[in-house]
A = this chain, B = another copy of it.
Amino acid sequence: MTQRTVLFVSDQTGVTAETLGHSLLSQFDSVVFSQMTVPFVDTVDKARRVAETIDRIAAEEGMRPIVITSFVQDEVRATLLKCNGLVLDLFAAFLGPLEAELESQSSHTLGRAHGMVDATSYDLRIEATNYAMAADDGHAMRDYGKADVILVGVSRSGKTPTCLYLALQYGIFAANYPLAEEDLETNDMPESLAPHRAKLYGLTIEPARLRQIRLERRSQGRYATAQQINFELRAAQALFKRFHIPYVDTTHSSIEEIASTILNETGLERRVRA
């Protein structure tokens, strides 16, 4: 396998460069990437030092590093461009066509992308996160009225991280309710959920994967036995079908995918665009 060094460099947090970079790099199976992020490179001086580091790596490895950047400031970008790396810059590639289309100059302002100092959106994300934590695992059921969506599923089907991701990324108020054995045995709608049927969204998962997850957590007792897991998953799906609760299988999905699927299928509006 070839090995290549990749740097994500930005005059801001680097989150955009990282996200873009991971998408691109994941398309190259045959290369192993050694990755590093260098955020807050917001002066020409800092850019010069990073360029020197890149040149040193290039000399040491005999191959130029791949440098994925998102510079808002033209002079800083220009300084880094002089390095001996393959520099792919987001803003350089796309701001030109956008300026032409919008007939407007971009502001080249720092602290916008991600660094958006937007108290309202910060507050919303915090509020949604606090809500997700308070309404985790069937707590705060009285507060289901506030929920945008209530995730329903058996223990370890992915409810908690999905709720938190929806909160942090999109400011969405997501509660979750774990289907307990009592719920599953009756095959009836749990009482506390009944008034909120329209908000329910189910998560399911393949038995083998769930078993693996549960074994890591608690290998004793019935919790991680194949029999118990099969019973719970079958009963949960029966409940979803009986009450027409939409659901998604989380087995082969990342947290991002599960969250996107839920937003897409429920038509829920993002409250925040992070």
- Chain A positions within 8 Å of B, measured between CB atoms, are 2, 4, 12-16, 18-20, 22-24, 26-31, 35, 37-40, 64, 66, 70, 72, 86, 88, 90-91, 93-95, 97-98, 101-102, 104, 106-109, 111-119, 121-123, 125-126, 129-130, 133, 136, 158, 160-161, 164-165, 168, 209, 213, 216, 252-257, 259-261, 263-264, 270, 273-274
Are A274 and B256 in touch, CB under 8 angstroms? yes
Report the minimal beta-carbon distance from A101 to chain B, rounded to whole angstroms: 5
**Which of A40, A118, A260 counts the most B-chain CB atoms under 10 A from its CB?**
A260
Known contacts A13-B256, A16-B22, then 20 further A-B pairs from the complex at CB < 8 Å, ordered by chain A residue: A22-B274, A23-B112, A24-B94, A26-B113, A28-B107, A37-B260, A37-B264, A37-B270, A39-B260, A39-B261, A40-B264, A86-B98, A114-B256, A117-B253, A117-B254, A118-B254, A121-B254, A133-B160, A161-B168, A164-B164
Report chain B residues within 8 Å CB of A213.
Answer: 123, 126
Q: How far is the CA of A19 from the CA of B102 in the complex (A)?
A: 20
| Closest residue on chain B to residue A72 by CB atoms | B27
Greatest chain B CB density within 10 A among A2, A98, A158 is at: A98
Give complex CA distance A98, B30 in Å: 13
Which interface residue of A14, A112, A136 has the most chain B CB atoms within 10 A? A112
Give the distance in Å from the alpha carbon of A122 to the alpha carbon of B251 in the complex. 10
- In the bound complex, do residue B102 and residue A31 qualify as a contact, i.e. CB atoms below 8 Å apart? yes
The quantity of this chain's copies bound in the complex is: 2
- Chain B residues with CB under 8 A of A14: 260
Whether B255 and A122, one on each chain, are in contact in the complex, defined by CB atoms closer than 8 angstroms, is yes
Asked if residues A104 and B28 are in contact (CB atoms below 8 Å), the reply is yes
Q: Name which residue of chain B comes closest to A22, CB basis.
A: B273
A–B pairs, 29, beta carbons within 8 Å: A13-B259, A15-B19, A15-B256, A23-B91, A23-B114, A24-B94, A26-B112, A26-B116, A27-B106, A27-B108, A28-B98, A28-B102, A28-B107, A31-B102, A38-B264, A39-B261, A39-B264, A40-B260, A115-B256, A117-B252, A117-B254, A122-B254, A123-B216, A125-B161, A125-B255, A129-B160, A133-B160, A164-B168, A254-B274
